[in-house]
Structure 1
Amino acid sequence: MNREIEIRRVSRVEACCRPYDWAWPKQNRGFIEENWKRRTAGKPQMFNGRVLLLQDVVFEQDLCRNTYFEVDYADFVAWIDKGYPNPVIANGFAMGALRGSDGAYICAVMGSGTTNAGRVYFAAGTPDPSDVRPDGTVDLAASLTRELEEETGLQEGDYHVDDEWIIVQRWPTIALLRMVTLPVTAEEGAARIRANIARQHEPELQDVRIIRSADDIDPERMPLFLQSFFDWVFDQR
């Protein structure tokens, strides 16, 4: 698989969920169990639910077609912590590139009780079975808006979502982004999100961070795909 960064625009994303016999968790059950104990120590809000991983992604002109399968979250986390040992599997997730009316972006700072504590990126989450429709399709647009609401408190009527998708790919990470624009400045949006976080009983975020230019990229706390996205988007200005 290509591990170089690729960024492309597509007008449509189609996704489905199909059964897949992933052998790696069966072969590494001991490591997965010990890793989960380590990961959840002191983090009671973490639970081992089901999530969706990518088994295939195909680009056809302006279409991105994804095929997912279900796994335990503990298996997914162990696979990441082991250094992505199974190269045919990928982490593909929808993400809203949240920005204010002034063009500045608003990133989340993940809370101490989460898997990625202290990391900085747009509000997002791994798709899960609630995103799978009765016909087997995966509604990534719904996943995007659900995660925005759960983490920031913003609801669909609070912003505008572009139809276009921006795919940032560095296997085994594939971020499927849509521009999400608030009708207020980034400062006002950040203040509103902070107020929402303060009202949450167990917030996933500890704060938000405003990104105005490439100078605000944090190589220590931002994942590589997001650094690449910001380099790309600011180069176009």
Structure 2
Amino acid sequence: MTAPIFHRVAQLELIRDGWRWPFADDQRAAIDAHFAQRQLEKPELFNGRVLLGRNARFTRESFSADIFETDFASFLAWRDWGYPDQGVFNGFGMGALRSSDGAFVLGEMGRHTANAGRVYFPGGTPDPSDLRGDRLDIEASISREIAEETGLLKTDYRSGTGWCCVVSGTVIAILRVLEVDQPGAALRDRIAANLARQVLPELCAIHLVRAPGDFTAAMPGFVTAFLATQWPPG
């Protein structure tokens, strides 16, 4: 696996077009059979609509791409089968929540989810509700995911400017540090209390990361690569 590539940009130009994914059409029967099997394993999986990308373009100032809509079953099969269409990428926003004492807050995905056991920042593959006209609003997607996963609202954190795009194969994570005026332990307890009130929370645990020594194998490479840039070397 190649090392993640970083692009720091000021603007995002992610525009939906009318492109139809040949993979989803050509492999329809196999995709449906795969999803039926995955639902037997995880009955809570839902075949909703998601947004993926193609034709990623980076300049010194911006990240632009063409966005298209597909069903979750096609996305899941593409992922589970090792990304057979390399011309498509999964681009998503993530909010790197950082507490007042410098701890980053990450969530562990619950057993009923498609990413069970993985540990990363609040975020996820965008869906049509994140569109403003034909423009994908990554900031709104991040706010929605944070509210759903942690209970935190936009008034609970301060957002910086610009974006850090981490390219790792067919994944492009679009990250921004979000500052929370609360110590790490208190913030973890606050989110955990919110999860306890949910019937089927997406997250099953909250992890604090204060240094590279807190990294685990459950954290994707793009997460640890991004975090490693947040502390001075040595």
Could you tell me the TM-score, scaled by structure 1's length? 0.94
User: Is contact 2:7-2:58 (8 Å) kept?
Assistant: no
Distance in 1 between the 2:185 and 2:91 partners? 30
Structure 1 counterpart of 2:230? 233
Once the two structures are superposed, the pairs formed by residues 145-224 of structure 1 within 5 Å of their partners are 145-219=143-217, 221-224=218-221
Please identify runs of 4+ aligned residues in structure 1 that moved more than 4 A: none
Query: Any gaps of 5 or more consecutive residues in structure 1?
Result: none
SS at match of 1:55: strand
Structure 1 counterpart of 2:8? 9
Distance in 1 between the 2:66 and 2:51 partners? 9
Q: CA deviation at 1:235?
A: 4.4
Q: CA deviation at 1:185?
A: 1.1
Distance in 2 between the 1:233 and 1:192 partners? 24
Change (3 A) 1:76 1:235: farther
- Establish whether residue 95 from structure 1 lines up as the match of residue 123 from structure 2: no
Structure 2 counterpart of 1:41? 40
User: Is contact 1:168-1:175 (8 Å) kept?
Assistant: yes
Distance in 2 between the 1:43 and 1:86 partners? 25
Structure 1 counterpart of 2:19? 20
Structure 2 counterpart of 1:117? 116
Could you tell me the TM-score, scaled by structure 2's length? 0.95
Task: Name the Cα RMSD after superposition.
Answer: 1.6
SS at match of 2:190: helix
Distance in 1 between the 2:64 and 2:77 partners? 26
SS at match of 2:231: helix
Q: Matched residue pairs, number?
A: 234
Query: Any gaps of 5 or more consecutive residues in structure 2?
Result: none
Aligned-residue identity in percent = 39
- Establish whether residue 133 from structure 1 lines up as the match of residue 142 from structure 2: no
Distance in 2 between the 1:116 and 1:60 partners? 32
SS at match of 1:90: strand
Q: CA deviation at 1:60?
A: 2.0
